[in-house]
Structure 1
């Protein structure tokens, strides 16, 4: 098997054929993940093993280069015993999926299919949006003044002239910790639990920041891209993370389902069965 420290097994391989899923999985998230998709595909993918990325233990202070994650996932393990037939990416995971597919095409001599779900790239506004998401999920835990303070501070951080993504991410994590401290104290949860949540958020910010250093255009260009109605709305609004990604996508299938259900909806299964044979 490929490096077990870098991949989690969704479906154990029964042959030498593998599907890889690139995502940042987190317990309790609302969005469906590749485990949900594998269950929905059922016997259609029974001849393939399905592995999902495990994020490496890296911090923002380490300032990982763009290929750090890819190197982590593709080194070690018996890769020569397997053929990767498809690499799938969810959101910003699509950036890494494109690079992994390019590397594997050189290594194994055949190019895996690239299948992307609501593919995005990273920019400063994406980092800012994570604070808005936190405020939304917290609901009435924050007062109106506290929520507005966090929104304004996030906007100030990403609006700082000449600020780089990594430096902005460090500041966003600091703001997240400030707001998490208020929330956890207010609802009576221990500081140790807060620290776990902040560390997970920092890990996610590191993942987003490193992705900004990768040019996914080659993999995006030969991809099958499956997109949600939310993705289309973001595209119409001019959100750069979506607009920039969508310009580079290959064949695209737009579905009338929400982003959170994209990896568990029957229409996604039908799209894959009809257009992603491997």
Structure 2
């Protein structure tokens, strides 16, 4: 099989079954990723990770557009989808794809969510603000005031999250890139980081309008101990209605995907019999 264009291949086997993991794949982030988890899993199936839209091609793509790009590659592979997994916002895309795959496959893939949560518009501006804080020493007082003003203007002028992501593109390429260079990075490294941030904002903004709840009702959640992430911020009565089952681990969010106990639980869930599409969710 040729390498799929819209995925990173984490494992290749001859089982004929596929596990798709959804995340915004980025090198260098502090939190563990699905590459770490794949090394710990004992399941004997091929594992693909959703790859971001190539830089410069993300403008205007809705959440459905993003999902369709991956779904085409999955269907064209001819592989039976055993499971989908999603980390944080990736759980939104994993859920939407799981429902679509069940339509043509006739059975629901297993759905595993790691610290899931909804995408919200405010997260886009908060992400930029986090870079302002980290790069504070690279701004003069006037530069920082101007950067904050440009962020506020972009937010005020956008009617939805995807439009906001588009309005933040010049801010990424001009304000953030320049600050990163002033912080001592090369032009190339600064440009790559700005592109990465821009791609992430479009991926996140596009997810805001997707509704993952139908798929989440069948999902198994593996949640970290961080009190402000995942199921911890959802009231218990809503939690039990929103998700199929929950597993909690005494491990911080950043280490969730590299913890052996989490991998063992994931393997147990992946080994369960598949559910025929149209059968009871719980």
Q: Is the 1:2–1:76 contact (alpha carbons within 8 Å) kept by the matching residues of 2?
A: no
* 1:51-104 deviation line (CA, Å, top 9, x unaligned): 111122265873113211121112157646321111001111111101111111
For 1:211, which of 200, 207, 211 is the aligned residue?
A: 207
Distance in 1 (alpha carbons) for counterparts of 2:166 and 2:30: 25
Q: Is the 2:34–2:257 contact (alpha carbons within 8 Å) kept by the matching residues of 1?
A: yes
1:163 maps onto 2:159 in alignment: yes
Q: Is the 1:120–1:245 contact (alpha carbons within 8 Å) kept by the matching residues of 2?
A: no
Q: How does 1:96-135 map to 2 (within 5 A)?
A: 96-135=93-132
Cα offset, 1:260, TM superposition: 1.1
Cα offset, 1:202, TM superposition: 1.3
Q: Is the 1:101–1:111 contact (alpha carbons within 8 Å) kept by the matching residues of 2?
A: yes
Instruction: Label 1:253 to 1:145 Cα distance change in 2 as closer, same or farther (>3 A).
Output: farther
Cα offset, 1:271, TM superposition: 2.7
Which residue number in structure 2 is paired with residue 24 of structure 1? Answer: 24
Q: Secondary structure of the equivalent of 2:123?
A: helix
Cα offset, 1:165, TM superposition: 0.8
Structure 1, unaligned runs of 5 or more = none
Which residue number in structure 1 is paired with residue 34 of structure 2? Answer: 34
Which residue number in structure 2 is paired with residue 250 of structure 1? Answer: 244
For 1:229, which of 225, 236, 242 is the aligned residue?
A: 225
Q: What TM-score, normalized by structure 2, do the two folds share?
A: 0.81
Instruction: Label 1:154 to 1:60 Cα distance change in 2 as closer, same or farther (>3 A).
Output: farther
Instruction: Label 1:137 to 1:234 Cα distance change in 2 as closer, same or farther (>3 A).
Output: same
Cα offset, 1:3, TM superposition: 6.5
For 1:183, which of 162, 179, 182 is the aligned residue?
A: 179
Instruction: Label 1:132 to 1:96 Cα distance change in 2 as closer, same or farther (>3 A).
Output: same
Distance in 1 (alpha carbons) for counterparts of 2:162 and 2:100: 25
Cα offset, 1:173, TM superposition: 3.5
Cα offset, 1:182, TM superposition: 3.7
Distance in 2 (alpha carbons) for counterparts of 1:245 and 1:196: 38
Q: What TM-score, normalized by structure 1, do the two folds share?
A: 0.82
Which residue number in structure 2 is paired with residue 8 of structure 1? Answer: 8
